[in-house]
A = this chain, B = another copy of it.
Amino acid sequence: MVIDVRLADGPFDPAAELARFTAAVPAAGGIVSFLGKVRGDAGVLALEIRHYAPMTLPGFRALADTAARRWPLDGLLLLHRVGEMGPDAPIVLVAAASRHRRVAFAATDFVMDHLKGDSWLWKRERTAAGWRWIEPRDEDHGDRARWG
């Protein structure tokens, strides 16, 4: 069981990361991934993600462990960018590998639902109007509630 959880304080290459992860889980027949990136067309000139080292990475590890206990996975990848980035930059890559397709979908979906509202990350974005902090969303609570 491969669990790979990292914070990246510089740009990362999602294709290369996914290729490396896939190579590490030869027994898995299915690999589901989610890539979140800064939208290229939304007028966002920059996104900054601040984190708190003593809690952010341990929080991600705990989330990955929870997913790994809940589903029979061959591997789980959770890579999250921090710092300041521009349009089109990859922000988060989550991938789950399993013998069972539905398991890989569920684990990836689960991790994303919890990442979005449970992570110790603070985000602000810069548009033509200046910097603006991104507020909590009520929707995130609903997303997590799907998993009981």
Instruction: List the interface of chain A (C-beta within 8 A of B).
Output: 14-16, 18-19, 22, 26-42, 87-88, 99, 101-102, 104-105, 108-109, 112, 116, 143
A139 to chain B, nearest CB (A): 10
Majority SS of interface residues in chain A? mixed
B36 touches A33 (CB 8 A): no
Which 8 interchain pairs have the tightest Cβ spacing?
A26-B40, A15-B19, A15-B15, A27-B41, A31-B35, A29-B39, A33-B33, A30-B36
Which of B18, B35, B101 touches A36 (beta carbons < 8 Å)?
B101
Residues on B with beta carbons closer than 8 Å to the beta carbon of A27: 39-42
Which of B35, B99, B105 touches A34 (beta carbons < 8 Å)?
B105
A88 touches B14 (CB 8 A): no
A132 to chain B, nearest CB (A): 17
Q: Whole-angstrom distance between the alpha carbons of A36 and B41 in the complex? A: 31
B29 touches A32 (CB 8 A): no
A105 touches B109 (CB 8 A): yes
| A116 to chain B: closest residue by CB | B101
